[in-house]
């Protein structure tokens, strides 16, 4: 019934192959048309699949595996080339192809003057294909295949401007950290295979509850290993350092990969394997803990950045922390809903920032912007909408999703007040930093007099408008998302209504905005005086702690260990190399020893 769903994956793949072979020989317009057209066709097929799925009653919507062909059939191990069509995967299809299509159209305008136009669209199509493989996989094998392909596409796209050294280094860093995640995933897959005898999602999830008690060692091991992959891909602590550097790539790349899709792969993974995670509550606590700590850490970092894209990158990290918090608490569909709204407003923010950068000829420093609200009204309006959604102002989509998570962090079974407190604090920080960016960019007077800002071309504005509408009105989709994903997760998420907590969160959010506004209004000199007064309080102790830690923890601890690993290997290999004396007779003796040993086995077996 869902045979046509294969087309969702096929179109971007054909786009990639076609554009990489013929992209140089066809006109730019055709390249843009093909590049966007394939994703548009994919989105259309996703809608077709969605409608097919909605025809079925909710209980029958899970578990449709469309097999292309049977690949491996070795004894009891079977591996098919297949895709899984169920509400969760279709949900991700919608986001990937929908937001992807919008970003593709935007890129037509943004990358218009770039000489490597066709290569960009080829890579973008490759990325969409890889991400679709990842979310459509029906077993762990193709999940990992998609996982690795996405890492590859990310590397290609971050380092797109090959002459820029910083971009190449950032791409390498991202790829290496992704590989660390890949290693965790592969080991997890091996352990899963050893435990369950199959890599198929359906089989593993069906048999897991019956085989293991909660917090069983093997469940903890599998879920922790999968978590390594998820955290590396979604830039959570401690595998987060690649995301800020990944902003070296073009802005559409940041919008697509580092806001809407690739970094959400980790969240998708936890959602898909929720059966395994429910059997390992310790890991769930770990997910929630790491998520919320990353959220506040990234939020605090975002407050002081001067590069507009870095702020938004840290913001992504922080919001992913929220999603992981939701996953860790057990309210999976709320996390997925936040994933969707976040895709809307974060991609919107990135693209609006890209519009600003584009009009200022590549300027990304906040201190050199300002006063753009009159010059770029549409960008201004859409950025504002995105900022309001991010800050969680009531009635925007971000409000619904973030509020739900913050409330659940207290009211859900596994929630507690610490999670809630940190979540609220981070929400305040979020409001602060995004207001700061907004004010720096659009208010006051333009601080770089040489620039000639102008409104971006329509082809870049229309995607912004589309996403702005979704960011504004997407909140109504909340209940639908919950009910749509319920068959996958087994239950509908409970939406608590606690007026006290809601109002606290609201007050904190408004407070954040107000603080930003206040600080912006205050003049620079007063701000410096203020900072100097408070300096001895927190600056010196922090520096002292930092120096101490650098010496003890870093140099003697970590550096020492890492250096020792290399040194010991060098020593051992030097010692072994002495065995190769160059003397024929000792080689002959070695041979005889070998022959004797082998004959020993032959004779006595």
* Interacting residue ranges for another protein, rule: CB under 8 A: 577-578, 580-586, 588-589, 592-593, 595-596, 599-600, 602-603
If the CB atoms of residues 492 and 589 are measured against another protein, the closer one turns out to be 589
Q: Which residues contact 144 (CB under 8 A, 6 or more apart)?
A: 182, 185, 186, 189
**CA pair distance 531, 522, nearest whole angstrom:** 13
**What is the DSSP secondary structure assignment for residue 386, as one 8-state letter?**
H
SS3 annotation, 43-59: HHHHHHHHHHHHHCCHH
**CB nearer to another protein: pick between 29 and 577:** 577
In the complex, the smallest distance separating the C-beta of residue 163 from another protein, rounded to whole angstroms, is 42
CB of 565 to another protein, least distance (A): 23
| Minimum CB–partner distance for residue 140 and another protein (Å) | 45
d(C-alpha 279, C-alpha 275), whole Å: 7
**Of 507 and 593, which CB lies nearer to another protein in the complex structure?**
593
Question: Cα 543 to the chain's mean position, in Å?
Answer: 32
Nearer to another protein, 500 or 602 (CB): 602
According to DSSP, the residues that pair with 73 across neighbouring strands are: 78
List helix spans (H) across 265-396.
265-272, 274-278, 281-302, 308-329, 332-359, 377-391
Q: Which is nearer to another protein, 539 or 599 (CB)?
A: 599
Closest separation in Å from C-beta 572 to another protein = 15
If the CB atoms of residues 416 and 580 are measured against another protein, the closer one turns out to be 580
C-beta of 586: minimal distance to another protein in Å? 7
Of 69 and 604, nearer to another protein (C-beta) is 604
Q: Which two tokens stand for residue 108?
A: 């037509």
Tokens of 306: 């001067």
| CA torsion, ordered 352, 356, 361, 363, to nearest 10 deg | -100
Q: Which is nearer to another protein, 544 or 599 (CB)?
A: 599
Residue with tokens 């913001």: 315
> C-alpha 230: how far from its chain's center?
9
| Min dist. Cβ of residue 580 to another protein (A) | 6
Q: How far is CA 43 from CA 87, 118, 119, 255, 271, in A?
A: 15, 21, 22, 18, 22
Q: How far is CA 603 from the centre of its chain?
A: 59
Instruction: Provide, rounded to whole angstroms, the least separation between the CB of residue 595 and another protein.
Output: 7
Task: Pick between residue 210 and residue 582 the one whose CB is nearest to another protein.
Answer: 582
Contact 406, 423 (CB under 8 A): yes
CB of 585 to another protein, least distance (A): 6
Q: Which two tokens stand for residue 120?
A: 């960009």
Contact in structure between 460 and 382 (CB atoms under 8 Å):
no
Other Cβ atoms closer than 10 A to 534: 10
Minimum distance, C-beta of residue 597 to another protein, in the bound complex (Å): 10
CB 570, min distance to another protein, A: 14
163 burial level (CB within 10 Å; 0-12, 13-18, 19+): exposed
Closest CB to another protein among 57 and 582?
582
CA distances from 176 to 55, 233, 257 (A): 44, 11, 17
Place of tokens 């060692």: 217
Residue with tokens 């990358």: 111
Least Å distance between CB 604 and another protein?
8
| DSSP letter (8 states) at residue 559 | I
The neighbour count for residue 331, using CB atoms within 10 Å, is: 30
| Nearest CB to another protein, comparing residues 541 and 594 | 594
Task: Compare residues 418 and 600 and give the one whose CB is closer to another protein.
Answer: 600
As measured in angstroms, the least distance from the Cβ of 271 to another protein is 55
């Amino acid at each position: 019934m869902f045979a046509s769903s294969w087309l969702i994956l096929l179109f971007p793949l054909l786009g990639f192959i076609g554009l990489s072979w013929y992209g140089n020989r066809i006109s730019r317009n055709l390249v843009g048309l093909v590049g966007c057209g394939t994703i548009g066709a994919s989105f259309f097929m996703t809608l077709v699949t969605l409608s097919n799925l909605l025809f079925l009653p909710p209980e029958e919507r899970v578990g449709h595996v469309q097999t292309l062909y049977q690949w491996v059939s070795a004894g009891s191990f079977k591996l098919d080339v297949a895709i899984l069509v169920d509400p969760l995967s279709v949900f991700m299809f919608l986001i990937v192809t929908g937001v992807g299509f919008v970003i593709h159209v935007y890129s037509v305008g943004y990358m218009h003057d770039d000489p490597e136009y066709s290569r960009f669209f080829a890579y973008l199509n490759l990325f969409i294909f890889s991400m679709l493989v990842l979310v459509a996989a029906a077993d762990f094998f193709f999940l990992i295949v998609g996982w690795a392909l996405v890492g590859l596409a990310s590397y290609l796209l971050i380092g797109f401007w090959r002459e820029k050294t910083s971009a190449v280094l950032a791409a390498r860093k991202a790829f290496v950290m992704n590989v660390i995640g890949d290693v965790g995933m592969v080991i997890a897959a091996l352990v899963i295979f050893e435990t369950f005898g199959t890599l198929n999602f359906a089989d593993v999830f069906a048999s897991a509850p019956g085989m293991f008690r909660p917090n069983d060692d093997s469940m903890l091991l599998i879920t922790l290993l999968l978590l390594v992959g998820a955290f590396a891909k979604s830039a959570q602590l401690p595998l987060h350092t690649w995301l800020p550097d990944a902003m070296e790539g073009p802005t559409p790349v940041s919008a697509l990969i580092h806001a809407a899709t690739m970094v959400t792969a980790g969240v998708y993974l936890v959602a898909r394997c929720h059966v395994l995670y429910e059997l390992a509550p310790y890991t769930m606590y770990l997910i929630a803990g790491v998520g919320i700590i990353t959220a506040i850490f990234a939020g605090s970092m975002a407050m002081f950045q001067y590069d507009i894209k870095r702020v938004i990158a840290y913001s992504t990290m922080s919001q992913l922390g929220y999603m992981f918090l939701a996953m860790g608490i057990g309210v999976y569909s709320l996390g997925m809903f936040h994933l969707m709204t976040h895709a809307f407003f974060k991609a919107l923010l990135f693209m609006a920032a890209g519009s600003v950068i584009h009009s200022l000829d590549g300027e990304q420093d906040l201190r050199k912007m300002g006063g753009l609200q009159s010059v770029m009204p549409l960008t201004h309006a859409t950025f504002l909408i995105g900022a309001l959604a991010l800050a969680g102002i009531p009635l925007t989509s971000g409000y619904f999703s973030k509020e739900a998570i913050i409330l659940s962090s207290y009211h859900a079974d596994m929630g507690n007040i610490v999670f809630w407190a940190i979540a609220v604090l981070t929400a305040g920080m979020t409001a602060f930093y995004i207001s700061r960016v907004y004010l720096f960019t659009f208010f006051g007077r333009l601080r770089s007099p040489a620039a000639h800002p102008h409104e971006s071309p329509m082809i870049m504005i229309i995607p912004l408008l589309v996403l702005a509408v979704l960011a504004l009105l997407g909140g109504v989709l909340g209940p639908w998302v919950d009910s749509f994903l319920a068959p996958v997760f087994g239950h509908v998420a409970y939406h608590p209504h606690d007026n006290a907590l809601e109002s606290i969160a609201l007050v904190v959010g408004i407070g954040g905005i107000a603080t930003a506004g206040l600080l912006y209004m205050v003049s620079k000199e007063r701000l410096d005086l203020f900072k100097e007064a408070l300096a001895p309080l927190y600056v010196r102790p922090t520096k002292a702690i930092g120096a101490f830690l650098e010496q003890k923890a870093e140099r003697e601890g970590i550096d020492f260990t890492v250096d020792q690993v290399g040194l010991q290997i060098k020593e051992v290999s030097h010692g072994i190399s002495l065995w190769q004396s160059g003397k024929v007779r000792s080689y002959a003796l070695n041979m005889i020893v070998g022959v004797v040993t082998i004959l020993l086995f032959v004779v006595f077996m």
